[in-house]
Structure 1
Amino acid sequence: MLHASALDGQLDELLGHSGAILFYLVIWGLVFAGTALFLGVFIPFVTGDSLLFGSGLVAASTPNLSIAVLAVGTGIAAFLGDQVGFLLGRRYGRGYLDRHGGRRTRVAIAKTENFYRKFGWWSVVIARFMPWGRVFVPVVAGVGRMNYYKFLSSNAVGALAWGVGLTLIGYYAAAIPGVKNAAYVIAGVFIAASIIFGFRTWREDRRETREAAAKAQVSDQISGE
C-alpha cells in the first residue's frame, strides 16, 4: 500500500504544468457549460457545489495548482455562463426554455419563474446555491426582460459568493487534520456521487418524457377515432 506522501508525489507529478492547465480548463468548462449550455439540466450536481468544493480540496493538496488561479477562474466561468444564459433567454424567449427537457424540467422552470418574481435581483445570487435555480434563473431573468445592468451586478455578486467562495471553502477545509491526506479520496467521492446522482436524474427525466409522449400519442389516436 502506498503511503500518503508517495501518493501525493505521484499525483503531483501527474498534475504537472500541462496537467494543471488541463485541470483548470475542465473545472472552468464544466462550470461555464452548466448554465451557458444547459449542461446543469442533465447533470446538475456534476457542475455544482461538489465540483467546486472538490477542486478546492485537490488544489490544497497539489503544489502545482494555484488556488488563486483556480478560484478566480471559476468565478469568471460562473459569471460568463450566467451571462450567456441571460442573453439566450432575452433573445429566444420562453419557447427556448420549453424546448429543453421533459416534465421535470418544465416543473423546474415554473418553480424558477415563481422564485424570480418573489426575489427579483436577489434571485440570481441565491439561485447559485440551488441546482435547478442555477440553470434556469439567468434564462428566466432574460425572458422577463430584467434590466441588463441589474442582472450584471447580481450575477457578479453570485459568481463571487458561489464560484470563488465554495472553491476557497474546499481549499481551507484541507487544513482540518486528516482531510488533506484524504483530499483526493474525498474529492473523488464527491464527484463520483454527483455523476451517479446526475445520471439518475437525467435517466428519470428521459423516462418521464417518453411516457408523456406515449400518453399523448394514445390520446391523439383515441381522439382520431
Structure 2
Amino acid sequence: MVISASSSFGALESAGPALVWAIVLTFVFIECAVILGLFLPGDSMLITAGIVLANHSSGAAHVWALSAGAMIAAIFGNQVGYAIGHRSGNHILARRGGKYLNYTNLHRVNILLERYGFWAVLIARWIPWVRTLCPLVAGAAKMNHSKYTVASSLGAILWAPVLLLIGFYGGSLLNQVSWLMPAVLTAMVALLLIGTALGIRHYRQEMARPLEEVTVEEVLD
C-alpha cells in the first residue's frame, strides 16, 4: 500500500505543536549535554520543527516561545556537559578506533579551547560534533566557568532560535505553492527519522568499542 505525500503531511499536521516541543527540547538538551548528542541530526531537526510549526494557525506564537525554550535547553545542557567533564577530573574517556569519540577529535577540541577560549566555545555551537564534545572537554580542562557560561549562552542564542526561525519563515514561503510544502516537509521528516535511527545505531557501535582513557595534557601534545 502506497502512502501519498498528502496523507503523510496530514499526519504531521495532526501531531500538533506539543510533539514538536517535546522533540526539540529533548534533542537540544541531549546534543549539548551527553555523548549521544554526537550522533543526532540536531540542525536539521530544528529547521524541520520550524517548518512544521509554519503549518499551524498558532505557529508564530509557538515558534518564538519554542525558540526561548530551546535556548534555555541548550544553556542547561551545556552546563550539564561541563559538569560531567569537570567531575571526571582531567581524564577523558575516548573510544579506541571510534568515529567521533576518539583521541584525534578530543585533541582538536582541546586545541581550539586552548588557543581561542571564549570564541571557540561560541563558534563550536555551529559544528555538530564539536557542539557536544566542547562542554565535556571544557569541564575536564577546567576552563574558567564564568567565561564558559557567557560564551556557551551566547552560542545558544545564536543557534537554536536562528535555525527554528529559518525553518518557520522558510516554511511560510513554501506554503505559497500548494504541492511544495507537503513534499518538502515529508522528505525532511523522513530524513530526520532515518538520521536519528542511524545515529542511535552508530552510538551503540561507538560505545561497544574498547575504552581509551586519556588526559587533558595528552590531547594537548
For normalisation by structure 2, the TM-score amounts to 0.76
RMSD, aligned CA: 3.2
The residue aligned with 1:44 is: 40
Task: Say which SS state the counterpart of residue 134 (structure 1) adopts.
Answer: helix
Equivalent pairs: percent with the same residue?
29
Which residue of 2 is the match for residue 92 of structure 1? 88
**Partners of 1:40 and 1:135 within 8 A in 2:** yes
Q: Which residue of 2 aligns with 1:168?
A: 165
For residues 158-202 of structure 1, give each alpha carbon's deviation from its aligned partner in whole angstroms, at most 9, with x where no partner exists.
000001111111111123355775445434433433443455566
Q: Give the alignment of 1:99-114 within 5 angstroms.
A: 102-104=97-99, 105-106=101-102, 107-114=104-111
Which structure has the highest strand share of the two?
Answer: 2
Q: Which secondary structure does the structure 2 equivalent of 1:129 belong to?
A: coil
Tell me by how many angstroms 1:108 deviates. Answer: 2.2
Query: Which sections of structure 1, spanning at least 5 residues, go unmatched?
Result: 214-225
Aligned to 1:196: 194
Instruction: Give 1:15-94 correspondences, 5 Å limit.
Output: 15=15, 19-41=16-38, 43-45=39-41, 48-65=42-59, 66-94=62-90
Contact 2:34–2:132 under 8 Å retained in 1: no
- Partner of 1:133 in structure 2? 130
SS of residue paired to 1:98: strand
Q: Would you tell me which structure has more helix in proportion to its own residues?
A: 1
Residue in structure 2 matched with residue 223 of structure 1 by the alignment: none
Q: Distance in 1 between matches of 2:25 and 2:72?
A: 8
Which residue pairs with 1:124 in the alignment? 121
Give the superposition deviation at 1:73.
1.0
Could you tell me how far apart the structure 1 residues matched to 2:177 and 2:64 are?
Answer: 18
Taking structure 1 as the reference length, what is the TM-score of the superposition?
0.75
In terms of Rg, which structure is larger?
1
Structure 1 stretches of 4+ with a deviation exceeding 4 A read: 1-4, 6-12, 99-102, 177-181, 197-210
